[in-house]
């Protein structure tokens, strides 16, 4: 190995010492940047204990603005005896509170109502994602 003196390389040792310091600053900045992106909001329901697919990212306000949804109970509906109550909304409730209430229902039936709610509307409106991988996106993509 050839060792060059400071004179030969023109690089002073104290400048070399700055390299790890710069590295640390870059690392710190990138960690802050990663965290400051903000949490991606996902569709959540505590009934889904072991999800088989990645969760679905959902930006509530942006989505509703784009879709022109003004009424809360368009999605957050309340049904009584098979009839939708136009003056009520189920904001703050989890879908599973009603849709998993029956003993015969399992996670797959909860998946069903989620899909019918999202995909069903997308198909009706000819807009928005409809295929499995369009909503349940893998994180590494």
Partner 1 sequence: MHAIYEIVSGPMVWLAAIIFILGSLYRLIFMGRLAAKKDPMVFSYLSVYYSLRSIFHWIIPFASVNMRKHPIMTVVAFAFHICLFAVPIFLCAHIILINEAWQVKWWYLPNPIADVMTLIVIGACIFFLGRRLLLREVRYLTTFSDFLILAGVAAPFVTGFWSYHQYPGHETAAILHIISGEIILVMIPFTRLSHMLFFPFLRGYAGSEFGAVRNAVDW
63 vs 125, beta carbon nearer partner 1: 125
Q: How many chain residues bind partner 1 (CB under 8 A)?
A: 20
The reply to whether 106 sits near partner 1 by the rule CB under 8 A is yes
Binding test (CB under 8 A) with partner 1, winner from 48, 109, 117, 121: 109
**Token pair for residue 128?**
């928005």
Cβ-based neighbours of 104, under 8 Å, separated by 6 or more: none
The reply to whether 66 sits near partner 1 by the rule CB under 8 A is no
The reply to whether 130 sits near partner 1 by the rule CB under 8 A is yes
* Helix and strand totals (H; E) in the chain: 7, 2
Q: CB of 43 within 8 A of CB of 114?
A: yes
For residues 48 and 108, give the distance between their C-alpha atoms in angstroms, rounded to a whole number. 10
Q: CB of 113 within 8 A of CB of 99?
A: yes
27 vs 123, beta carbon nearer partner 1: 123
The reply to whether 102 sits near partner 1 by the rule CB under 8 A is no
8 vs 49, beta carbon nearer partner 1: 49
Angle at CA 9, nearest 5°, toward 8 and 11? 130
78 vs 121, beta carbon nearer partner 1: 121
The reply to whether 52 sits near partner 1 by the rule CB under 8 A is yes
For residues 48 and 107, give the distance between their C-alpha atoms in angstroms, rounded to a whole number. 7
Contact positions vs partner 1 (CB under 8 A): 52, 106, 108-109, 111-112, 115-116, 122-123, 126-127, 130-134, 137-138, 141
């Amino acid at each position: 190995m050839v060792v060059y003196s400071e004179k030969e390389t023109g690089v002073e040792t104290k400048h070399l010492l700055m390299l790890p310091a710069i590295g640390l600053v870059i690392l710190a900045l990138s960690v802050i940047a990663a965290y400051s992106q903000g949490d991606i909001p996902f569709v959540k329901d505590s009934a889904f204990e072991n999800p088989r697919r990645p969760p679905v990212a959902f930006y509530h306000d942006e989505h509703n603005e784009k879709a022109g949804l003004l009424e809360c109970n368009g999605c957050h509906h309340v049904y009584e005896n098979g009839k939708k109550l136009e003056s009520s909304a189920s904001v703050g409730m989890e879908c599973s509170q009603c849709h998993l209430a029956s003993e015969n229902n399992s996670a797959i039936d909860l998946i069903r109502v989620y899909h019918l709610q999202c995909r069903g509307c997308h198909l009706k409106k000819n807009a928005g994602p409809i295929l499995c991988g369009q909503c349940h996106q893998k994180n590494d993509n």
